[in-house]
Amino acid sequence: MAGFSRDELIDIYRKRAKHYDLYDKFFQMIGFPHRKRAIRALNLQRGDTVVEIGCGTGLNFPLLQEVIGPEGTIIGVDLTAAMLEQARQRVRVHSWPNVRLVHSDAATFTFPSSVEGIISTFALTLVPEFDQVILNGCRALTPGKRWTVTDLKMPSNPLIVKLVVPVLAAILLRPFGGTVEMANRHPWESMQKYLQNVEMSEYWGGMIYIAVGERRETGCG
């Protein structure tokens, strides 16, 4: 299966929305603090505006708030209304007036102009039009500012591919709308095409990566 349909993804995340934060705690328990690393790579400053593609329940919001402060702005975009409702509850609990939530497909989202950061965490590989999303985001970035993507990829080690990937696909990918075939999508190559100074770090035997790139002074591509 190359990937789930848009409606299938919405249904999957609608069913998991209320308990999604528990799944994230599990990932942190087994040793991958991906959110902190990805946000640190953005090099944000107080007062910055950051867009999160696939914000889910808003798990990145507290970490982003620590960096941009109340003077900054977070724009959280997600495909699933149920996930956004959980994010909305998080915003209410913390009384954050600087968070704007947008119910939209990433492929059709219109980025605001002149943002200082864009982040996507385990979301962009689910979007078939990821290349266009990265280009659109690049055009919205202020020159010198950064896009960071954290996602899954196919490892280069054939032993891991043969023995580990099928197990993880059944346990961790498919329940969240992912497939092994989707792990062959390469958003970092689109980042290399449109951005500069692209750096990529791999974890978990090359199955997870964090890629970060900067907007050129002369534009995208």
CATH number at residue 104: 3.40.50.150
> What contacts 30, CB < 8 A, 6 or more positions away?
none
| Domain that includes residue 86, residue range | 6-214
Which residues make beta-bridge pairs with 208?
A: 152, 203
For 25, 34, 58, 93, 211, the CA distances from 31, given in Å and listed in that order, are 10, 9, 20, 28, 19
Rounded CA-CA distance 116/45 in Å is 9
- Domains contained in the chain, number: 1
> Is residue 1 domain-resident?
no
pLDDT per position as a tens digit, 74-120: 999 999 999 999 999 999 999 999 999 999 999 999 999 899 999 99
Integer CA distances (angstroms), 15 to 9, 149, 162, 179, 193, in order: 10, 25, 31, 18, 36
**219 assigned to some structural domain:** no
CA distance 4 to 176: 10
Q: Is residue 199 included in any domain, yes or no?
A: yes
Main-chain phi, psi angles of 56, to 5 degrees:
60, -130
Residue 105 lies in a domain: yes
Model confidence over 18-55: pLDDT tens digits? 766 666 665 665 445 688 999 999 999 999 999 999 99
- pLDDT tens digits for 60-84? 999 999 999 999 999 999 999 999 9
Q: Looking at the domain assignment, is residue 221 inside a domain?
A: no
Position 112 in a domain? yes
Q: What pTM was computed for the model? A: 0.85
